[in-house]
């Protein structure tokens, strides 16, 4: 049995780690695992904030029972209905059949659709409060961060806000659970990867949520994934503000797809020229062996994006196109793009990239360079000019 950890004297962490799941949502790799965070407030009325993935429900129930020690579990607050957080609801109902479920109207639509649960519901609206004794909960709706039913629960006495998926990140909590107990730099990259791939599309809604929460006196931010922020919650709030405004650092991500190494040669040459022009943050990424979630994470961080492809069946190399499709879904803004590539007896690859760039109104820094089979000295001169123009355009946008 894991040690049960206090958030405050009466608020407990009852979350679990998942080092078994290979792909989050069936898409995103979890090389560092993930935590499912749940919280228990012990008072005259005991309340559970969110649950955990169903595969971890046994340990989860055990923790709760140990804490309440035979007392009733009165309420379950559901901030977010996604199954990695709602999956253990049936287990909770079986262990505590008299529990009342707290959520908003949209929560209960999803609760019925997912699990067929219709009874023992307490519907709340924006600004409603629930008194537990010493503690009082207040509820705020933050729809589309990143599901339509999403809300946050604010505990007025100790000023803890339970934020669902907002402010969360990938990575298990190994030992410590607080920002001052873990190495935040270790988590920061996985927090940004989580944001850019899961939440990133909903930047305008994140901005609305931040404005709403700005009026609260917040001492602790307790998300459903990743570290609990008690030492300096402003760090994660500022990061979400930056990312949801699509702000970026100076740097360039060069993504390429290459069957026989010729497009890769061009990618490396462009990177060398960028470095000569003073660009230090350069990421050269082979889309065939780097999962797109890691590429999107870097694109969310850096301002410049250069995409290269070989021509495949008169079009874009399929893994490159998959990346472009996913980028299109993210609503990415404020980046500087360029394209390059190779072809054999017919073109089409670079043309396809340009179609995506134009369709999404991304800024094109310069005309593309496309070469037949393998770049020669004349082609390398073109790449020199291409990279120089790209740096000029990049610096104008910073």
pLDDT tens for 286-314 read 999 999 999 999 999 999 999 999 999 99
CA distance 168 to 236: 9
- pLDDT tens readout for residues 311-334: 999 999 999 999 999 999 998 999
pLDDT digits (tens, 9 = 90+) for 118-157: 999 999 999 999 999 999 999 999 999 999 999 999 999 9
Average confidence (pLDDT) over 382-397: 97
* pLDDT, tens only, 40-92: 999 999 999 999 999 999 999 999 999 999 999 999 999 999 999 999 999 99
pLDDT in tens, 367-378: 999 999 999 999
Computed on alpha carbons and rounded to an integer, the radius of gyration of the chain in Å comes to 24
pLDDT category of residue 190 using cuts at 50, 70 and 90: very high
What is the per-residue pLDDT for 20? 96
Query: What pLDDT is attached to residue 2?
Result: 62
- Give per-residue pLDDT as tens, 250-299: 999 999 999 999 999 999 999 999 999 999 999 999 999 999 999 999 99
pLDDT range class, residue 3, cuts 50, 70, 90: low
β pairing state of 220-222 and 160-162? parallel
Site of tokens 């037949």: 372
Its pTM surpasses 0.85: yes
Q: What percentage of the chain carries pLDDT values higher than 70?
A: 99
- Assess whether pLDDT exceeds 60 at residue 198: yes
**Half-sphere exposure (CA, 13 Å, Cβ side) for 230?**
12
Contact between 92 and 68 under an 8 Å Cβ cutoff? The reply is no
Q: How confident is the model at residue 398 (pLDDT cuts 50, 70, 90)?
A: confident
Query: What local confidence, expressed as pLDDT, does residue 375 receive?
Result: 96
Neighbours of 347 (CB within 10 A): 16
One-character DSSP codes across 358-385 = HHTTPEE-S--EEEESS--HHHHHHHHH
229 Cβ partners below 8 Å, 6+ apart? 167, 178, 179, 220, 221, 222, 223, 235, 236
In order of their start, the domains of the chain are 5-244 (3.60.15.10), 249-393 (3.40.50.360)
**What was the pLDDT predicted at 1?**
52
Decide: 115 and 198 in contact? Cβ < 8 Å: no
Sign of CA dihedral 209, 212, 215, 219: negative
pLDDT over 70 (residue 14): yes
pLDDT of residue 347: 87
pLDDT for res 4: 75
Q: Does pLDDT of 16 surpass 60?
A: yes
Look at residue 44 in the predicted model and tell me its pLDDT: 97
- Between CA 103 and CA 49 the distance in angstroms is 11
Quick one: pLDDT at residue 259?
95
Q: Where are the alpha helices (DSSP H) in the chain?
A: 57-68, 83-86, 89-95, 105-115, 184-194, 203-213, 234-244, 262-276, 292-301, 318-330, 349-359, 377-397
State the average pLDDT for the chain: 96
Helix and strand numbers, DSSP H then E, in the chain: 12, 23
């Amino acid at each position: 049995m894991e040690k049960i950890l206090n958030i405050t004297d009466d608020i407990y962490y009852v979350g679990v780690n998942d080092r078994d799941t290979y792909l989050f949502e069936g898409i995103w790799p979890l090389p560092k695992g993930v935590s499912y965070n749940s919280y228990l407030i012990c008072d005259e009325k005991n309340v559970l904030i969110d649950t955990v993935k169903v595969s971890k429900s046994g340990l989860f129930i055990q923790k709760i029972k140990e804490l309440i020690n035979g007392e009733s579990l009165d309420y379950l607050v559901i901030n977010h209905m996604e199954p990695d957080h709602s999956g253990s609801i049936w287990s909770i109902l079986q262990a505590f059949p008299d529990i009342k479920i707290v959520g908003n109207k949209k929560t209960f639509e999803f609760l019925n659709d997912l699990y067929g649960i219709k009874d023992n519901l307490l519907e709340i609206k924006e600004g409603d409060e629930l008194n537990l004794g010493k503690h009082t909960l207040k509820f705020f709706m933050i729809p589309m961060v990143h599901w339509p039913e999403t809300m946050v629960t604010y505990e007025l006495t100790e000023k803890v806000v339970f934020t669902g998926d907002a402010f969360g990140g990938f990575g298990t909590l190994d030992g410590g659970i607080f920002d001052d107990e873990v190495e935040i730099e270790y988590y920061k990259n996985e927090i940004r990867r989580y944001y850019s791939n899961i939440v990133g599309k909903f930047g305008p809604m994140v901005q609305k949520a931040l404005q709403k929460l700005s009026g609260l006196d917040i001492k602790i931010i307790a998300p459903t994934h990743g570290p609990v922020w008690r030492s300096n919650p402003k760090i994660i709030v500022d990061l979400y503000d930056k990312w949801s405004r699509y702000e970026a650092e100076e740097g360039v991500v060069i993504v390429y797809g290459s069957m026989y190494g010729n497009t890769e040669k061009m990618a490396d040459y462009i990177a060398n020229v960028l470095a000569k022009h003073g660009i230090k943050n350069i990421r050269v990424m082979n889309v065939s062996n780097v999962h797109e979630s890691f590429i999107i994470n870097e694109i969310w961080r850096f301002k410049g994006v250069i995409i290269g492809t070989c021509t495949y069946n008169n079009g874009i190399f399929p893994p490159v196109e998959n990346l472009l499709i996913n980028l299109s879904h993210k609503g990415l803004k404020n980046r500087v793009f360029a394209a390059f590539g190779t072809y054999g007896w017919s073109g089409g690859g670079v043309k396809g990239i340009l179609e995506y760039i134009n369709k999404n109104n991304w800024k094109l820094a310069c005309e593309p360079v496309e070469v037949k089979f393998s770049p020669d000295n004349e082609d390398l001169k073109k790449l020199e000019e291409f990279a120089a123009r790209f740096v000029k355009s990049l610096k104008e946008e910073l």
